[in-house]
Structure 1
Amino acid sequence: MARPTEGAAVAAVSRSVRPAPALLDLFEALRVAHAMRDRHGMRLVRAAIARNVSTVGGAS
């Protein structure tokens, strides 16, 4: 069951382009998350690195 606000949110996000963070910044964030033993943060940053690499490197 689709929610009416979900469609509006997806439409709003697709209208704006957000620049991806630099890989060095992402790896620094991963280092900090690791130092703080933040497993959830490490998972999020790893996913962001994977997205960044796939868009920059051209691999699918």
Structure 2
Amino acid sequence: MHSKEYRARGNWNEIKGSLKQKYGNLTDDDVTYQEGKEDEWLGRLQQKTGETKDKIKSWIDRI
């Protein structure tokens, strides 16, 4: 998963909204991706959601 690919395709806002909807405890800061910090971002999502990084990546790829 590379969020810049999603943003380039124009659906990054949809992905962020879907993450926040699925995991109600996520904030805007949690779903904001910073270039070059994918591992940190996924780790933060993993901590907040209790899901594995692979499961999060797979879920995002299906959106």
TM-score, normalised to structure 1, is: 0.31
Highest Rg: 1 or 2? 1
TM-score, normalised to structure 2, is: 0.30
